[in-house]
Amino acid sequence: MKLYYLQGACSLAVHIVLEWTGHPYESQSMARDELKSPEFLGLNPSGSVPVLRDENVLLTQSTAILQYLAEKYPESHLLGSDLIARAETRRWLGLVNSDVHRVFGLFFAWPKYVGENCKEEFLQNARHQLDGYLSILNEQLKGKDYLTGTRSIADAYLWVTLNWTFFLQLDLSAYPELVRFHQNLAQDAGVQAALKQEGLA
């Protein structure tokens, strides 16, 4: 099993989940420009991470990879124990991947969308969208340590996206449950190990 990752990117969620499964794996750090090399485009034509190779299985897309790992290692209990619990995990995973991650992408890549003259308004609108999602997540975490009540693949992904707020200097203080969630999970042994692997701790 081998993970291709970019330091601190969404692939860190896969790195954390690989640690949570406790099974051996390899990981390969990629430089951003290497993602567009012919070799890497052969693995993922989108030129993005994460990419996971597991013998003859080659997977892209964070949600597919995370669910693959959770299903491959059911003893890790990272997806949910019954139909409803699994649907709940996928619901939060979907919100983090399709909505939260997408909006963070606007902060990281705003020059792809607007010129310097529109930057401020664009980022204000992005912040407004992000706040909508953060409010929902903050509410969901009230009285819980994890999104669905028990640790799942969705938590790893949420943790990684919240980590980006530090890099982007986005204030999270209006969301005390998210701050608590981020601080608690930062102490998790699997999170610590994945950060260390990526040279971030």
Ligand X SMILES: N[C@@H](CCC(=O)N[C@@H](CS)C(=O)NCC(=O)O)C(=O)O
Binding site for ligand X (CB under 6 A): 6, 9-10, 32, 35, 47-50, 61-62, 97
Nearer to ligand X, 108 or 176 (CB): 108
- Complex with ligand X: residue 150 or 170, whichever CB lies closer: 170
Q: Which is nearer to ligand X, 78 or 96 (CB)?
A: 96
Residues contacting 88, CB < 8 A, separation 6+: 80, 148
Instruction: Give residue number: closest CB to ligand X.
Output: 48
Residue 65 has phi, psi (to 5 degrees) of: -65, -45
Helix (H) or strand (E) holding 52: strand 51-54
Q: Which is nearer to ligand X, 48 or 138 (CB)?
A: 48
Phi, psi of 109 (to 5 degrees): -120, 30
What six digits make up the tokens of 74?
């059911």
Smallest gap, in angstroms, from Cβ of residue 75 to ligand X? 25
Rounded least distance, CB 155 to ligand X, Å:
16
Strand pairing class (26-29; 2-5)? parallel
